[in-house]
A and B are shown apart, each in its own frame.
Chain A
Amino acid sequence: MIKKKYIAALAFILIAGCKKAPVNVGPPNQYSSSSYPTNITQLQTVLVSCYSDLRDVGLFGFDFLPRMLGQSTHVLNGNPFSFTSEMAANNLTVGDGGAQETWNALYVGVKNCNVTIYSAGVLLKTDPSVDQATVNLIIGQAYCLRGWYYMQLECLYGEAYMQAGGVNGDKLGVPLYTEVPQNLAATQVARSPVKDVWALIISDEKQAATLLKGQVWPSTDEARATEWAAKGLLGKAYVYTQDWADAKATLIDVITNSGKSLMPYSTYHNAFNGANKFNSESLLELYIDPNPQGGYGIYSGNISNSATIDGLLWPPVTFGGYNGATPYDGTNNSVQFLGYGGNFYIHDQNILRFGYTLGNYGLVANPKYNAAVGPTYYNQQQVIDPVYQHAALQARTNNTTDPRLYVNALQPRIDSVQFDGIHWALIAKNPIPENPVETPQSSVYGWSLRKYSPIDYNISANTTVTSDKWDYYLLRLADVYLLYAEACIGSGDNINGLEYLNRVKRRAYSLPITTPSAIDYKSLTDATPAANPVSPDPVLGHNPLYYERWAELFNEGTWWFDVCRWKLGDSEAAYYKSAIGIPSPLTFTDSKSYVWPIPLTEINSNSKITQADQNPGY
């Protein structure tokens, strides 16, 4: 009996036999590149990566605005760690981590767009019956975003902007990948001439506009690129390359036919902190969802969310908060950052440039102080000097300061935030190295950043909303107005140029947009708020075009390109004077600093780009 069992077992061993050799295997938890995508839904997911890459840590996800453009344009001042100090000094090294991060992220975006275009082609081949119109919309979006990625790349790393008549067109632009590299050799690509890069950007946006023509996305897809986003970006490319005629034609098309309009100031004031998403002037917007799905902003490993976490780095600072159950004492000894403390706050010179001329506040004893309760943030022993407070509020009411200051910044001891999502408390002066303990009459303003900043919750880890709440505008109509104004001026049409500058300004002052007003610029050299007596700006003070682009698009990631196009590096350094942790006074190297270096990692991994192809000065 037993023996039979063993013989049966032996027989089993013998017939357990050969497994058939598989022909082609791949990881079962991924899609095979030979058979994917098989339908429109799958192709749509490939397109999604073109958008989600915008939230990379090197783009809007974390570093690009706070630690790169915020530093290089001096929107911000603060913690000089790592590459932020190189950015603040406008003196990068070839190993600069920020320049590398952004380069990588932008090229991943380009690759994702190329993959989308490639896989659309695969789908069309394998299933000719697929809905061609939907495929066209997908390819159109990919072209629109590829154009955006290349425009950022060229503006940051290209050797020079192309100017009217093709000047600089033969200088070194960035390497161009118009399709997905299929082998090792195809990943080694030299820098293209500047003119070829711009030609591709223009061609991409034109194709996008054609493929997306007439498409109106439903409310479930509001963040998708449209014909008008593509045309707006096309117009921007024309302006950046001084092709005024094409720029004017393209931009007026957007202004006239897109159906978009400048939103009223009341909406505008609250369009950067989570409310009023996809408003009437939004042309292309990166949708951010405040729910990080249990992750920590973008720092969430494999969690799928739609989060960014810039606000962590530049949060407001408030007196409000508790140490355990004990309320803070209402002095700068105990303040709460609505994110990480000690990183960035708005650079003081910006307060002055917006035309704020009242200097700093003083403190007086709080007449309502209740000694029985003891000092708390809601029962402060000292309060702001009421005379100063009145004057500061009058400056707002009477618009003697550019109202956009209050869209962009929060004033200590006057503005308030909801530090815990419910309770309000006053903004405190930023406790920075120059101002560790509140010294009211000091020269330090220490305001908090308001645009793209958490003003009604604490973004840092010990709360449940560890993400930004607001969307990031990639293009909005006010920008298009200003680009159109610039194109008009560039082509000699100063009247229309001035009018479109004034339209943007009138909205900021809550005035009818198309009606001439008292605050209108009378000429292209008229005084701006930056001409104020406290800190007159010799450049922006009498250049409404420059000032409007600076003031209107403050902290939206575009000013750096204007500085570089208009060669304002020296005057900006002179105006901002200093940055924390950087040797004073600030300087700017014209022969180098307008262009970021090709990152060392690229030179090390791309045999077609050597040190000889590096940008000048690096």
Chain B
Amino acid sequence: MYKKQLLLKLLFCPLLLLMSLSTFAQAPITGKVTDEKGNPFPGATIVLKGTTKGTNSDANGNYKINASSTDVLVFTGVGYTKQEITVGSKSVINIAMAADLQQLNEVVVVGYGTQKRKDVTGAISSVKGEVFKDQPITNPIAGLQGRVAGVNIIENSAAPDAVPQVIIRGVASFYQPNPLYIVDGVRQADLNNLNPQDIVSMDIAKDAASAAIYGSAAAGGVILVTTKKGSGIGAPPSISFSSRYGITKPKLVQLLGTSDFIKLQNLVNPTFFAGATKTDTLANTNWVDLLYRNGTEQNYNLSVSGASANVNYLASGFYNQQTGIFIKNYSNIGGARINTDYKLSKYLTIGEQIDVSQRITSPLVGAEADLHNAPFRTQPIIPVYNPDESWGTEPTGYKIAFGGPNPLGAVNSAGAQDVKNNFQGNAYADVKLPFHLDFKTTLGYSYFLETTDFYQNSYNFGPVASSTNGLGKSYAQSSQLLTNYVLTYNQSFGKHNISALAGYEQIVNKTNNINSSMSSIGEPGYSYIQTSASSLALSGTYDPQGLIKSQFARVNYNYDERYYLSGSIRQDANYDVFGPDKQKGVFPAVSAGWTISNEPFFKKILPSINSLKFRGSYGQLGNSNVSPYSFTSTYSQFNNANGYSVGAQGFAPGQPFQIANTLTGIPNPNLHWETITETDLGFDGEALHGSLYFTAEVYNKKTSDLIYQLPLSASSGFTQPYITNIGDVDNKGFELMAGYRNKIGKLGFDVSGNISYNKNNVTKLSGAATDAVYGGYNYYSMGNTSFSQMPNQQLTITKVGLPFGEFYGYKVLGIFTNEADAQKQVVNGHKADIGDLEYQDLNGDGKIDQNDRQPIGNPNPKFVYGFNIHLNYAGFDLAALFNGVAGVQLFNGVKAYEQSLFQDGNTTSQVFNDSFLGSNGLTSQPRLLSPTPGGGNALDANQNYSSVNSYFVESGAYLKLKNLQLGYTFSNNTLKQVSIKSLRVFVMANNVFTITKYKGLDPELGSAFTTGGAVSPTTQGIDAVTNYPQARIFSAGLDVSL
């Protein structure tokens, strides 16, 4: 990108063209360009200063150019410092290029253009693809974790197709938007299909001023991705191959084996195994080991790239295969990319990027086959198979009863495949116009097609059975056609530098989908074979109405690269998301900067600081992350609040059912975007010739007109909420980043760290009779609120004065050690005793009930931080990536299952530490059993384990060594024999260790029950049995260049 810009400048700047007319006597100059290690440097650009005459070094680094003795040769290469050498009397000029340490000269991609780092006045962070290309990730988002201050990336699952969650500068909405992804200038829904190894850089626009050029799409921040291009004019094609292979080891909870299980039941339910003598013949099934396994991750990448004077190209392909740690779960993705630019004339450049991929996933599906990170509803005494080879059921002859499924049978009774096809293509044309104008138009087209097949076989697990099978198939396609036209102007008048742009953009979205299902199909598989018993169901929608039209403009001005001023404005008209009275929104931004280090006085006072810039910005963004048509009220098929089948009715036997339609809600023609207003102040600097680099900033981000699902009065008969703009949220924080890099002898190092602080606070939720929003459940199975250790109790509250999704329940003051005190506490009509949790009686009425609930923990981390260490010594390189959070609480819902006994299932050995269990006295864990007057035991009468209380709220602070990588690059001499340019081998570990006081499996938790990386602001930090476990990965791999 950098080089292309440079070329264009050199080739087309009319001034230079004029100057090139003057000529001197010329002689051929030859030489060799090498890199800092002495290896040949192909593709370096050599031009005569002040002219357009130039050449490139060839594959061996050699070059040849005609020049006169007064000419100055300018050597440039991407990532290397520009060098100028006067020809003089020399006829051979060899040169060693030096890596450019000063990041300030890097090019930063901003909306609809680029800027040099030193000219940026907003909060934009950049990450090079180089640093994460060998991490075991398939989603480039994961590569940002720990590397960018203010960007909180959460990888909460080892599922092979997991998408990390991204929160930039705090949760700001009930409809928390994902970042806007701009890949090579074209917006995309996500980066799930983008090959991380195709990426040159990712630039993250964090503040409103940097993002405002994207208006109502940019509330979640903007991540601008640039993919690779071919380089090295005249050099032979460059071929790179890399591969890695790794083992994924799950982190799991282990349940009780048979002897401990019986021991526990003898205490809890003494009748179950009373008088049983042959318990040693019972099975001892480890369901965890049956359901989980070690997974694998392997990745292959091949790319070919090159360039000639008029064309540069890159073609790459990759394949990634992952088997999940849960049985039958896998996800494989393969894809290819072609990027090309053609210089058709001095004035016209065109090009395209094409990216295709396909991901095939075997997801976790099936009746009774929900994933649990430990299958608490199992019993070790149940065998995998019964003697007659049917799925194992409860052994007879004992009083114990089991009402659940055979989990292995459940998983094996269903199968599914999910195929995601992705095409992304964009073409552009760039025309140089007179008067320093440049016109660029881009046409981007993306197409996504997902098909799923889900076969559910009949099954019989004793108490849970279904005699019919069924098949569901779905087909969902979506496409986006984006066109934009941008006119830019760049000119300098003396020390006044101006760049400006104006543009128009239109985005047309279409979706088309169908869902179908058939029960009682004739043969197992993914094809419909109808039988007499079959029932069919169909639904589908074709919607071509998605349309956004926008105009935008931006002006950047600076004086002498010292004083910067910038302003931008965008108007978006969104026709299917905003109400008819509020379709158009305007989003302005201004920013300013002062590069104090360019002031003459500064250079005198602090010469060691080679760069220091202060900057400030203000801007507004819109959040339009609500479903289309939320503003309408329509007639649609009647469905009651719980989604039950009241959408039809019969009126006589044998007659067809008649469809029921009704009005679904109240229209809101004023529904509009949430407005985010953000100010940002910061400074960037470099010292010691770029060895030390740092950035710091503070921001204040306010969301107003928060979109909220206002529940309508039940008596209105409308069960759908009224979607309206009521409420404000504040996020305030600061970010620091600093690094140091240098070389001591042969040891090169680069150490950097970043930390961000954010405080989240809901400041207004008005207009609602209900002043709070509740969220989250401690699910055992997703969606079943009643079959849980904490049935029908919500875990979080969001209301004015609190952050999003604060945990909400009884506050535990301690464990009762004194009977007299304990007897004063009444829970659900039951008096507490020693060993029970003492709850705070908030209203002092002597009873603990829902009126005594209070905020008990904040799942929004105060601090998110990371640090990176890169070392190289001779051929060795070592990279370590740490990330962490602090000032955060988690709700350890799994603990409630681990320390008590769940329904007819099992638990962990932690239960034996409960107070007064067996021969225990008072311990640090509350009691599970309460003696009853009749001599029996009541289970958890004080609701120690079955109420939402602060016993389960733990600190979630952690520090992780996320990735540790050791590589060795073979020296050039060895490889020359086999025409290999470079070869690096590496070993690595991911999720190496975690330092935390958190007692659950892993403190890195996303928001519960969302998929696709979406952030659900009211269910963050909940550790539930339904979470896909985390894993460690150990890999080895190699990178080869030919």
Smallest beta-carbon distance A329→chain B, Å: 12
Residue contact B715 to A107, C-beta cutoff 8 Å:
yes
Residue contact A189 to B645, C-beta cutoff 8 Å:
no
Q: Which residues of B contact A111 (CB under 8 A)?
A: 662-663, 716-718
Q: Which A residues are closer than 8 A to B by beta carbons?
A: 3, 6, 9-10, 12-14, 16-19, 21-22, 24-33, 36-37, 42, 44-46, 48-49, 51-53, 55-57, 61, 82, 95, 100, 103-105, 107-112, 114-115, 118-119, 174-175, 177, 180-184, 186-189, 219-224, 277-278, 287-289, 292-295, 298-307, 324, 461-464, 599, 601-607
A182 and B350 alpha carbons, distance in the complex (Å): 54
A108 and B642 alpha carbons, distance in the complex (Å): 12
A26-B629, A51-B649, A56-B640 known; A13+B429 contact, CB < 8 A: yes
Smallest beta-carbon distance B309→chain A, Å: 15
A19-B508, A302-B645 known; A223+B652 contact, CB < 8 A: yes
A206 and B561 alpha carbons, distance in the complex (Å): 85
Q: Which B residues are closer than 8 A to A by beta carbons?
A: 342, 344, 350, 388, 390, 427, 429, 441-443, 460, 465-468, 470, 481, 483, 485, 506, 508, 517, 519-520, 533-537, 539-543, 545, 547, 549, 573, 575-576, 580, 628-629, 632-653, 655, 657-664, 666-667, 710-719, 722, 724, 769-770, 786, 792, 850
A26-B632, A57-B644 known; A16+B718 contact, CB < 8 A: no
Smallest beta-carbon distance A29→chain B, Å: 4
Residue contact B660 to A287, C-beta cutoff 8 Å:
no
CB < 8 Å neighbour of A181 from B485, B646, B718, B786: B718
A188 and B717 alpha carbons, distance in the complex (Å): 11
| B768 and chain A: residue at smallest CB distance | A605
A542 and B723 alpha carbons, distance in the complex (Å): 58
CB < 8 Å neighbour of B666 from A26, A45, A184: A184
Residue contact B644 to A299, C-beta cutoff 8 Å:
yes
Residue contact B645 to A112, C-beta cutoff 8 Å:
no
Can you list 17 A-B pairs, Cβ within 8 angstroms, ordered by A? A10-B350, A26-B634, A33-B632, A44-B658, A48-B659, A181-B666, A184-B722, A187-B722, A189-B716, A222-B652, A223-B649, A287-B651, A294-B470, A301-B645, A304-B637, A464-B467, A605-B770
Residue contact B638 to A49, C-beta cutoff 8 Å:
yes
Residue contact A602 to B713, C-beta cutoff 8 Å:
yes
Q: Which residues of B contact A9 (CB under 8 A)?
A: 350, 427, 429
CB < 8 Å neighbour of B657 from A32, A306, A606: A306
Q: Which residues of B contact A30 (CB under 8 A)?
A: 634-636, 664
Smallest beta-carbon distance B517→chain A, Å: 8
CB < 8 Å neighbour of A48 from B549, B573, B658: B658
Q: Which residues of A contact B429 (CB under 8 A)?
A: 6, 9-10, 13
CB < 8 Å neighbour of B653 from A3, A277, A606: A277
Smallest beta-carbon distance A457→chain B, Å: 13
| A81 and chain B: residue at smallest CB distance | B786
A52-B638, A183-B666, A224-B651 known; A294+B712 contact, CB < 8 A: no
A33-B632, A49-B660, A302-B537 known; A104+B641 contact, CB < 8 A: yes
Please give 11 more A-B residue pairs, beta carbons under 8 A apart, in addition to A36-B661, A103-B715, A303-B645: A30-B634, A46-B660, A61-B644, A112-B662, A174-B715, A188-B769, A222-B652, A304-B645, A304-B648, A304-B657, A464-B468
Residue contact A6 to B344, C-beta cutoff 8 Å:
yes
Q: Which residues of A contact B485 (CB under 8 A)?
A: 14
Residue contact B666 to A602, C-beta cutoff 8 Å:
no
A189 and B712 alpha carbons, distance in the complex (Å): 11
A3 and B311 alpha carbons, distance in the complex (Å): 13
A119 and B646 alpha carbons, distance in the complex (Å): 20
CB < 8 Å neighbour of A55 from B628, B646, B661, B718: B646
A17 and B484 alpha carbons, distance in the complex (Å): 9
| B711 and chain A: residue at smallest CB distance | A605
A462 and B520 alpha carbons, distance in the complex (Å): 13
Q: Which residues of A contact B390 (CB under 8 A)?
A: 324
| B767 and chain A: residue at smallest CB distance | A184
Smallest beta-carbon distance A328→chain B, Å: 13
Q: Which residues of B contact A57 (CB under 8 A)?
A: 640, 642, 644
A586 and B792 alpha carbons, distance in the complex (Å): 27
Q: Which residues of B contact A300 (CB under 8 A)?
A: 644-645
Q: Which residues of B contact A301 (CB under 8 A)?
A: 643-645
| A174 and chain B: residue at smallest CB distance | B715
Q: Which residues of A contact B517 (CB under 8 A)?
A: 294
A112 and B639 alpha carbons, distance in the complex (Å): 11
A252 and B545 alpha carbons, distance in the complex (Å): 60
A599 and B543 alpha carbons, distance in the complex (Å): 39
CB < 8 Å neighbour of B629 from A22, A25, A303, A605: A25
Q: Which residues of B contact A222 (CB under 8 A)?
A: 651-652
Smallest beta-carbon distance B779→chain A, Å: 17
| A601 and chain B: residue at smallest CB distance | B714
Smallest beta-carbon distance A386→chain B, Å: 32
| B633 and chain A: residue at smallest CB distance | A33
Q: Which 5 A-B pairs have the closest CB atoms?
A: A111-B717, A294-B535, A304-B648, A306-B650, A606-B713
Residue contact B646 to A61, C-beta cutoff 8 Å:
yes
Residue contact A223 to B640, C-beta cutoff 8 Å:
no
A463 and B468 alpha carbons, distance in the complex (Å): 8
Q: Which residues of B contact A55 (CB under 8 A)?
A: 646, 649
A223 and B711 alpha carbons, distance in the complex (Å): 34
A187 and B665 alpha carbons, distance in the complex (Å): 11
Residue contact A27 to B629, C-beta cutoff 8 Å:
yes
| B655 and chain A: residue at smallest CB distance | A220
Residue contact A607 to B769, C-beta cutoff 8 Å:
yes
Q: Which residues of A contact B470 (CB under 8 A)?
A: 294
Q: Which residues of B contact A287 (CB under 8 A)?
A: 649-653
Residue contact B508 to A115, C-beta cutoff 8 Å:
no
Residue contact B641 to A22, C-beta cutoff 8 Å:
no
Residue contact A32 to B634, C-beta cutoff 8 Å:
yes
Q: Which residues of A contact B716 (CB under 8 A)?
A: 107, 111, 177, 181, 186-187, 189
| A153 and chain B: residue at smallest CB distance | B715
Smallest beta-carbon distance B611→chain A, Å: 40
Residue contact B649 to A306, C-beta cutoff 8 Å:
yes
Q: Which residues of B contact A221 (CB under 8 A)?
A: 651-652, 655
Q: Which residues of A contact B645 (CB under 8 A)?
A: 292-293, 295, 298-305, 307
Q: Which residues of A contact B629 (CB under 8 A)?
A: 25-27
Smallest beta-carbon distance B408→chain A, Å: 19
A294-B537, A302-B645 known; A223+B441 contact, CB < 8 A: no
Residue contact A182 to B651, C-beta cutoff 8 Å:
no
| A221 and chain B: residue at smallest CB distance | B651
Residue contact B644 to A56, C-beta cutoff 8 Å:
yes
Smallest beta-carbon distance A10→chain B, Å: 4
A354 and B841 alpha carbons, distance in the complex (Å): 49
Most buried by B among A18, A25, A183, A222: A25
Q: Which residues of B contact A188 (CB under 8 A)?
A: 713, 769
Smallest beta-carbon distance B400→chain A, Å: 14
A6 and B388 alpha carbons, distance in the complex (Å): 71
Q: Which residues of A contact B350 (CB under 8 A)?
A: 6, 9-10
Q: Which residues of A contact B710 (CB under 8 A)?
A: 184
| A175 and chain B: residue at smallest CB distance | B715
Q: Which residues of A contact B344 (CB under 8 A)?
A: 3, 6
Most buried by A among B388, B543, B636, B715: B715
Smallest beta-carbon distance A608→chain B, Å: 8
| A334 and chain B: residue at smallest CB distance | B396
Q: Which residues of A contact B786 (CB under 8 A)?
A: 82
Smallest beta-carbon distance B666→chain A, Å: 6
Residue contact A115 to B663, C-beta cutoff 8 Å:
yes
A184 and B722 alpha carbons, distance in the complex (Å): 8
Q: Which residues of B contact A105 (CB under 8 A)?
A: 640
A301 and B640 alpha carbons, distance in the complex (Å): 10
A19 and B480 alpha carbons, distance in the complex (Å): 13
CB < 8 Å neighbour of B647 from A174, A289, A302: A302
| A35 and chain B: residue at smallest CB distance | B635
| B459 and chain A: residue at smallest CB distance | A462
Residue contact A45 to B661, C-beta cutoff 8 Å:
yes
A599 and B770 alpha carbons, distance in the complex (Å): 14
Residue contact B649 to A108, C-beta cutoff 8 Å:
no
